[in-house]
Structure 1
Amino acid sequence: MLVSKNFGDIVTFMRASVGWSYSPAGVLVPSAANGPRLDYDPIAQLARGLLVEEQRTNLVSYSENFANAYWSKVSIAVAASASPGADGALSAFDITEANGASGSKELTAPSVSYTAGQTYTISAFFRTKAVGVVRRLRMAVSSGSVIAGSLAVAFDPSDGGSVAQVVNASNARLDVLPNGLLRGQWSFTAANTVSANLYLTLADSSNLTTYVGDGVSGITLFGVMIEQSGGFAGSYVKTGGAQVTRAPDAAVIADLSKIGFNATEGTIYAEVEAPNPSIATAKGIVSIDDGTENNRLTLTKEINGRLGFASVIGGAGSVILASAANMPAGPVKVAAAYKAGDFAMCMGGAAPVISAAGVLPAGLNAMRLGVRSNGGAINGWLRNVRYIPRRITNAELQALTT
């Protein structure tokens, strides 16, 4: 008999902090600690699914209040904007260049500590001001400190936005948001263990910062972040006087009897969106395990970007399957069907990857959604997860993922 149950009747969701996500109206909203984030595409205003992320810390102590003395100002005026921030409130600030100023017109954040070999991502929400000439936003870290040489990216908010200049940075991109807002982000790997400042500087259409200011033009700014990362920005982490950490998400079914778990065969299905290409460890889509990585059945996004499935016993892979193609950046349907000596995995309706060898682990007692037992979160969205307590046929598997 099929029984309909609420998410909270089956899944225990945990996150030891507030987390931010987009509402159906396309604005950022906070979810309380241990509250699942059902996220939306801010432009299409369509559901993306359950957002599951790893832990991140915003190293900028004042992410929104640019009038605060934390931010040093040179040849600019900072005032509360009449245009909303990404949270839909009047929380953004207009950054206006001083009239006649020919030097840099910038905000500077106090120095942040960087560790050699670690990757960091810097991001900001911004738009062009409603009046004046379009100015670009140039984001830079102190030259010659974190790396040998300049480190900067310039973003152009005109005509839908573009990345205008990249100097020794990686993964620079702009995301389009409602109300003319953009979120620019870029990453770098520190070569030295040092402290360095962040500079947010106005630039002209040639990326020059030493043009003569007109006293009117500038940008509207909201939500600046610096985070140690895997080469991409996470969801927004708001700060107001100190660095803030968003704890990792965890969604667990601790009682497998609630899903009719069958220890001898089964099928795991998920519709997942895991867009970030830069990952250092395999990320869990769905994992059934004993609380460790030693005994598990796991669907993963692998380091090389492909879909993987593994039956692991005592820390060793009894069966390891990998897709021929990389997982797409957008949503995709994936599934694995299994019983001893009969394993198959499928992605997007492609021909199943199969194995006629291998056995199943014993003692499995929990299912994790979007994470592994070691915390390897997908940093993306789960739209649908199903468990079927039988090994469906390969034809059914292919049809299920089409």
Structure 2
Amino acid sequence: MRANTSYFRRAAFLLCFLSQSSVQSHILPFAFYRAKPPTLGWDFTALTALPSELTFTRSSTATYFDSAGVLQTASSNTPRFDYDPTTLQPQGLLMEPAATNINLCSEDFDLSSCWNTEGGTPMTVTHNVTTAPDGTTTADRLNQAGDSWTYADLPTTSQNTAYVFSIYLKAPSTAGTVRMSIQEAAGAYTIWSQSNVNVTTSWKRFYITGTKTNTNPMRFLIYMGAGHLSQVYAWGAQVELGTVPTSYIPVPSTSTVTRAAETLTFNTMSWFNATEGTLFAEYTNIMSENASTYRVFGLFNTNVAGTFAQNAIQIADSGTNIGTGVTTASSGVFSPSGSVNAAGTINRQAMSYKANNFYISINRGAVSNDNSGTLPAPAYGYIGSQPDGNMRSRYIRRIQYFNNQITNSQLVGL
């Protein structure tokens, strides 16, 4: 007891001594220093609902994986906090542009109005025999009977356009291969893309991409000939524009289904400091995109599609290049260069701003800066989307905002 009393007396003396000496208070070790907390600090990998400062919109349902790895359907205007279906690790808030599944009857491979089977001895299809990725008994079993394949009837497709064909497959007992193909459905029956995929006894989504090069019809095949599995479970077939599949869009009938684009906006800007501040975003790009600039965390003077980029403070990227910076009156006052990680890898961008004083760190790398430029006066804020509706498929993992310009060492540490 006496030793504890002595300890607290020494500690009290030390604190009193330091508080009375402004000179010695400057020599406090770094461990005592505590940075100012962020004005906004959101970890979307841990949230189950959005903060009150944000408004989310999506005019359709959409699918996502829950923490148990089961595919769920979110109702309209409901955000999706997605999980990896294999590792069950949280991936963050899923944000996607609009997409349309043109593969009719995406879960009913035995419907003659949507799917066909061909070959020397056509395969047979048994409907609703096992549990699908969404937990329902809606997965079909395809049985090889000699050299056979099944394919879908599709609506009209466009020439010189890339399509991606995706499907969930699972082996009933023994792992093996299945061939996926994108093929001309007339003329020379040219194969535009094909791949042998390794199917295991666990559900996995496979995809291939092909570009239609002529005006003939297009078809998407599952082939189970010699050397491949004789049985496979199939579910959730999807065909859409692009090169990487978006989240699954169920098509229960003979009409295509569209998932609407998503927006996430600030419903208040009371937290924003127009004089100085710091933006930080941690995110994962799901797809490789074209050269357009897509905002991760953007602050704009207007929310008008044609003019919003003229005055902006933003964290953004374009392909694997950053698009982060500050624009005032259509002039890029801070336009740093740099690269972000490839799709599927976490990115971190941190930028601080003040008139004639701008700094950025990409993926915790060295800070670059610009010491010239005025600031815009943003009145609108967007996360994972932007006023013109264009967006990149992403997981938004963390967002932070400080209403001061933090130090460069803190910038790198975010």
Instruction: Report the TM-score, using the length of structure 2 for normalisation.
Output: 0.80
- Runs of 4+ with deviation above 6 angstroms: 1-6
Q: Provide, for residues 312-340 of structure 1, a one-character-per-residue CA deviation record: whole Å limited to 9, x for no partner.
A: 23334222112256456322322111111
Partner of residue 73 from structure 1, selected from 114, 117, 137: 117
1:144 Cα deviation from its structure 2 partner: 7.2
Partner of residue 9 from structure 1, selected from 47, 52, 60: 52
Check whether the contact 1:128–1:157 (CA below 8 A) recurs between aligned residues.
no
Within 5 Å, give how 1:3-402 maps onto structure 2: 7-69=50-112, 70-74=114-118, 75-98=122-145, 101=146, 104-130=147-173, 134-142=176-184, 149-158=190-199, 180-205=202-227, 217-229=230-242, 231-241=243-253, 242-257=255-270, 260-289=271-300, 290-291=302-303, 292-303=308-319, 305-324=320-339, 326=341, 329-362=344-377, 364-400=378-414
Q: Say if 1:200 and 1:339 are closer, same or farther in 2 by CA, change over 3 A.
A: same
More strand by share: 1
Distance 2:69 2:96 in 1: 19
Q: 2:316 is paired with a residue of what secondary structure?
A: strand
Q: Provide, for residues 329-387 of structure 1, a one-character-per-residue CA deviation record: whole Å limited to 9, x for no partner.
A: 3223221111111111112211012111222212x212111112222323110111111
Instruction: Report the TM-score, using the length of structure 1 for normalisation.
Output: 0.83
For 1:359, the aligned partner's letter is: T
Distance 1:367 1:298 in 2: 9
**What runs of 5+ residues in structure 2 fail to find an aligned partner?**
1-36, 43-48
1:111 Cα deviation from its structure 2 partner: 3.4
Check whether the contact 1:143–1:150 (CA below 8 A) recurs between aligned residues.
no
For 2:317, the aligned partner's letter is: K
Check whether the contact 1:112–1:197 (CA below 8 A) recurs between aligned residues.
no
For 2:182, the aligned partner's letter is: A
For 2:115, the aligned partner's letter is: W
Moved more, 341-350 or 326-335: 326-335
Q: Say if 1:354 and 1:61 are closer, same or farther in 2 by CA, change over 3 A.
A: same
The structure whose Rg is larger is 2
Moved more, 233-242 or 351-360: 351-360
For 2:250, the aligned partner's letter is: K
For 2:363, the aligned partner's letter is: G
Aligned CA RMSD, in angstroms, stands at: 2.5
Q: Provide, for residues 75-115 of structure 1, a one-character-per-residue CA deviation record: whole Å limited to 9, x for no partner.
A: 111113543212122111000022xx3xx412221133222
Q: Say if 1:329 and 1:357 are closer, same or farther in 2 by CA, change over 3 A.
A: farther
Percent identity over paired residues = 22
How many positions carry a matched residue from both structures? 361
Distance 1:14 1:156 in 2: 36
For 1:308, the aligned partner's letter is: G
Q: Say if 1:184 and 1:148 are closer, same or farther in 2 by CA, change over 3 A.
A: same
Distance 1:68 1:143 in 2: 19
Q: Say if 1:248 and 1:324 are closer, same or farther in 2 by CA, change over 3 A.
A: closer
1:50 Cα deviation from its structure 2 partner: 0.3
Distance 2:193 2:231 in 1: 19
Distance 1:8 1:255 in 2: 12
**What runs of 5+ residues in structure 1 fail to find an aligned partner?**
161-178, 208-215
Q: Say if 1:192 and 1:296 are closer, same or farther in 2 by CA, change over 3 A.
A: farther
Q: 2:337 is paired with a residue of what secondary structure?
A: strand
For 1:105, the aligned partner's letter is: S
Moved more, 322-331 or 122-131: 322-331
